[in-house]
Amino acid sequence: MDQNSAARWRRFARWLEPGIGVKRWLGLIVVGTALIGLGLAIVLLDIYRAHPDSPWLTVLSLSALPRWLRALIISGVGVGLLIFSVIALNRTLLAPYLRPGRPVVDVVAKHRRLGRGPRIVTIGGGTGLSTLLRGLKKFSGNLTAIVTVADDGGSSGRLRRSLGLPPPGDIRACIAALSDDEDLLTQLFQYRFLEGEELNGHSFGNLFIAALAGVTGSFDQGIMEAARILSIRGTVFPSTMKDIALLADKTPEMAVEAFRIEGESQISGTPGRIRRVHLDPNDPPAYPGAIQAVLNADMIVIGPGSLYTSVIPNLLIPDLVKAIRASQAFKVFVCNVATQRGETDGYDCKQHVDAIERHIGRGLVDVVVANDCFDYTLPEGISAVHASLSTDITVPLYTGALVDPDRPWRHDSEKLADTLIALWEERTGPLDLAIANDLDSPERHN
């Protein structure tokens, strides 16, 4: 048997794997077909008895062979035709939704496996959150991203001011990260115009979400439609639908008195050390879908992302924090691998945790995940966030090599996701065997 034939047989055998949900329906088809065959057999038997000497009936009934062999041959041909027809029908019906060369069984198997994955809620914003989602989507299709809406700069800020919409930028990045096919359509969603007086600086995805919000009549419905078009694995929710502004109290170097800055885009660019951030209004209602997702979660991951402008703003929404505390999920804070200019200059891991506890109190998370690999060079002006210096941290600390070697100021999406799932498995047991096997497939490592 050549290599191609062996691959085809292995692909056929995958239809019989546990959990795919095919065998039960195939069995029902067999039973139904058998009943139809039984009815036809009664009619044919009457014809055969009426014309016992017909040469055609003698050939078709294989009467020259033993009865057991005749039954085996006829049944085998019937089963073969049945299986061939079912597979061909599936391929025909699913062809419009499959990438070229992607076997139907692979798509069905992956969908079923990811559907049995843990319910994971991620909270944050910016590049850190989209990086995390890109890794986690290979473990579960039950993902929910809760995204900050405090952004007021760039394309998001312009749309917010001109249309009165919540800023779509971080939400757009999360939708793109969760897309099942990060090819041309997702690249288009992330495309940023570089020319044109009105379009320059705008992201196509931001404009697309804004247009869908207009068509559907609401911003959250626009997000859902954008997610459906990109076939994402999971759900993306804003943390609130309220129009909020982010305020920061900063202390200049060698000074005691703090001054207040208004606007997320102004905070990191203003010299000084952040003492505290606030929302205006200070008690916005949480988005209902976000609350429900948190309460039903198996695991909640806070961060990574800009500490004061992406992570903490979500935690300043009272209802959302109450839901996190009430949830029975395993809760993790992912510390950034590098500091951020104007926000966390000189911070170590403990200072990241202290900042969160200073705003909302202790006991929010079960463990802190931090990087312990520093064999790389960072751009000027930022430094590595060390966990080894955090000896008196108030939360259990887990460290690992989590840095993206090509961009060492960011996490590696797969390393971070592997670490988080390993921590979750320590508490709940291993993932479903079928999911674990799929994670070792060549597709995961490509």
Q: Which of 349, 353, 428, 347 is nearest to 120 (CA)?
A: 428
CA pair distance 424, 1, nearest whole angstrom:
43
Scan for tokens 């935690």, then name that residue. Answer: 315
* Whether residue 88 has pLDDT greater than 80: no
Where is average pLDDT lowest: 17-21, 219-223, 432-436?
432-436
Per-residue pLDDT averaged across 366-391, rounded? 87
Maximum mean pLDDT: which of 17-31, 102-116, 171-185, 394-408: 394-408
The matching CATH number, chosen from 3.30.2270.10, 3.40.50.2300, 3.20.20.70, 3.40.50.10680, for 116-148+239-445 is 3.40.50.10680
Where is average pLDDT lowest: 85-94, 220-229, 382-391?
85-94
pLDDT in tens, 192-211: 887 777 777 788 888 889 89
Amino acid in the structure at residue 170: D
Where is average pLDDT lowest: 15-19, 270-274, 306-310, 344-348?
15-19
Of residues 184 and 213, more confidently modeled: 213
Residue 178 C-alpha from the chain's centroid: 5
Buried b (16+ CB within 10 A) or exposed e, 258-271: beebebbbebbeee
Residue 13: per-residue pLDDT: 64
Please give the mean pLDDT across all residues of the chain. 83
CA pair distance 371, 349, nearest whole angstrom:
9
pLDDT in tens, 357-369: 999 999 999 999 9
Residue 185 CB neighbours (<10 A)? 14
Amino acid in the structure at residue 196: G
Residue 435: per-residue pLDDT: 47
Residue 136: exposed, middle, or buried by beta-carbon count in 10 A (0-12, 13-18, 19+)?
buried
Where is average pLDDT lowest: 75-79, 238-242, 269-273, 315-319?
75-79
pLDDT in tens, 124-156: 998 999 999 999 998 998 999 999 998 887 788
pLDDT in tens, 43-68: 877 777 777 777 776 777 677 778 78
| Alpha carbons within 13 A on the beta-carbon side of 299 | 26
SS (H, E, C) 385-437: CCCCCCCCCCCCEEEECCEECCEEEEECHHHHHHHHHHHHHHHHCCCCHHHHH
Of residues 277 and 206, more confidently modeled: 277
Residue 212: per-residue pLDDT: 92
pLDDT-derived band at 445, boundaries 50, 70, 90: very low
* Whether residue 71 has pLDDT greater than 60: yes
Sign of CA dihedral 100, 101, 106, 108: positive
Residue 188 CB neighbours (<10 A)? 13
Per-residue pLDDT averaged across 372-397, rounded? 85
CA pair distance 412, 403, nearest whole angstrom:
5
Residue 104: per-residue pLDDT: 59
pLDDT-derived band at 14, boundaries 50, 70, 90: low
Would you kindly state where each structural domain of the chain is located, as residue ranges? 3-105, 116-148+239-445
Of residues 324 and 89, more confidently modeled: 324
pLDDT in tens, 288-330: 999 999 999 999 999 999 999 999 999 999 999 999 999 999 9
* Whether residue 444 has pLDDT greater than 50: no
CA pair distance 191, 185, nearest whole angstrom:
10
* Whether residue 96 has pLDDT greater than 60: no
Per-residue pLDDT averaged across 338-350, rounded? 92
Identify each DSSP E strand in 142-230 by its residue range.
Answer: 143-147
Of residues 220 and 105, more confidently modeled: 220
Per-residue pLDDT averaged across 400-412, rounded? 94
Where is average pLDDT lowest: 181-185, 304-308, 376-380, 400-404?
181-185
Residue 443: per-residue pLDDT: 43
pTM for the full predicted model: 0.76
